[in-house]
């Protein structure tokens, strides 16, 4: 019976593979929090101000057709945080482009030392995410994703989280 159950399970996996999830703001946050949970870290909170900063940043990238941690005129990714109302003590950024599923995105980030360090940093409490179809530099397949990580300067700042 056990062998028959195993064969049925294997054949079911071959016929109906696990569905990959589309990349959304929520799927990115959930996946990062799964990784943080595996390392006994507090979960990241989505912060509407960081969402706004990430969206403003990706619009800037689209407007000026670049994809980099620093803008062509030398602005850092954290330039967008304070205008969005997020006064930070520490901040970080992850970028990714050309991904079709959240699983592939997370696999790539977790295999990259810098991206992994941001996701698993105990210094960050909040995050904001922006996702667009295609690329900021023209037509492309997949999605482009920006995650801004942060820790607000004061506890009072944390009241604006979602």
Q: Quickly state the pLDDT bin for 6 (edges 50, 70, 90).
A: very low
Q: Global pTM?
A: 0.81
pLDDT, one tens digit per residue, over 59-108 is 998 888 888 999 999 999 999 999 999 999 999 999 999 888 999 999 99
Mean pLDDT (whole number) for 107-132: 97
**CA 53, CA 78: separation in Å to the nearest integer?**
8
Residues 127-150 have a mean pLDDT of 82
H-helix or E-strand containing 89?
strand 88-99
Q: With a cut of 60, say whether residue 25 has pLDDT above it.
A: yes
């Amino acid at each position: 019976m056990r062998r028959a159950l195993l064969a049925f399970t294997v054949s079911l996996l071959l016929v109906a593979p696990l569905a990959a999830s589309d990349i959304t703001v929520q799927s990115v946050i959930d996946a990062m929090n799964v990784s943080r949970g595996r390392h006994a870290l507090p979960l990241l909170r989505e912060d509407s101000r960081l969402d706004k900063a990430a969206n403003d940043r990706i619009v800037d990238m689209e407007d000026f057709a670049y994809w980099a941690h620093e803008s062509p005129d030398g602005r850092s990714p954290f330039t967008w945080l304070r205008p969005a109302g997020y006064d930070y003590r520490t901040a970080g950024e992850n970028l990714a482009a050309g991904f079709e599923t959240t699983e592939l995105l997370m696999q790539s980030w977790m295999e990259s030392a810098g991206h992994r360090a941001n996701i698993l940093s105990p210094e960050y409490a909040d995050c904001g995410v922006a996702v667009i179809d295609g690329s900021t530099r023209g037509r492309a397949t997949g999605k482009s994703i920006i995650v801004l990580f942060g820790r607000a300067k004061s506890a009072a700042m944390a009241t604006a989280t979602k």
